[in-house]
Amino acid sequence: MGWSAKDIPDQTGRVAVVTGANSGIGFHTACELARHGARVLLACRSERRGQEAATRMRAEAPGARVAFRRLDLGDLASVRAFAADLSDEDRLDLLINNANTRAARSASVEGGGGRRAGVMALPYARTADGFETQFGVNHLGHFALTGLLLPKLLATPDARVVTVSSGMHALANIDPGDLNSERSYRRWIAYGRSKTANLLFVHELARRLAEAGSPLVVAASHPGYADTNLQTAGPAMEGRRLAARLAKAANRVVAQPPSGGALPTLYAATAPGVAPDDFYGPHWPGLRGSPAKSWRASWTLNDAAAERLWAASEQLTGVRYEGLGAATA
């Protein structure tokens, strides 16, 4: 009986961007922020699914102020267009880097069929810009988006950035010599590395903001074991029907609902006392339950590794956080 969505402070007057808000954890994160008064921009790749999600949110939370904005984190041109489109917003209070999804490109997926799926342990694929999909979407897309939106966040009092990682970051540290898994590809290792990259990004951004004397809070979260399409996407794409059925069965027995998986993100985004570089997840035992401070692998707090990843990310995306002022692209 710990912290729940009922404990979210009033968000009236605040503007939030939630990536991947059309389903799963992202949907529930966006819906609860809107239910508590925020105006929420649903940053989704598919307009149809984004508009459908907006309709569902208005039904679940009457009076919810939500709007679809197109964003494909697997395409840096789309990221830049999204950021430019937000120029008409006079403030940005919350950026929730949640998205873990995109359409697999049939031409570059081994055995793939171009189906939409969650990005977790998928067959090898590349983004529109040639990056390995899990690293490109989960880390580089959000790195670029945050940099391009940073001036608006810095100009808004009490703003926060929350990046959704995973307990699966413990599977692997990043390989600075093979960020795009070009030498070898093991799907779960690649996923773990992309989630480690999320935490290193938060760690380095928090350090740079502190050095600049900025009050902007950047934190991280993970959903524990939540019942979403992430567990079944890889097996389904490859036609491994038994594995997909087993994953669905495990979800029914062990997983918490996606509304529960959203709570650590909502806590990091809205609760008082959240500090830069905090990492929240479910309290029992990192799989389900109310939000609590989460364990993280020691390598996600390595200053040298975080700085190297930052430099590589700037080079790969072309987005530079110059002086933590206006990012250039």
Separation between Cα atoms, residue 289 and residue 32, nearest integer Å: 17
Task: Give CA–CA dist 286/169, Å, rounded.
Answer: 13
Q: What is the DSSP string of 148-198?
A: HHHHHHHTSTT-EEEEE--GGGGG----TT-TT--S---HHHHHHHHHHHH
Among residues 191, 225, 267, 321, which one is catalytic? 191
| Residue bearing tokens 């997840």 | 281
Q: Please report, for residues 95, 107, 126, 281, 319, the alpha-carbon distance to residue 286 in angstroms, rounded to integers and kept in the order given.
A: 24, 37, 31, 6, 34
Catalytic residue status for 280:
no
Distances (CA, A) of 20 to 42, 76, 120, 129: 7, 16, 14, 19
Using CA of residue 125, residue 51, residue 223, residue 269, what is the dihedral sign?
Answer: positive
**Which residues are part of the catalytic machinery?**
191
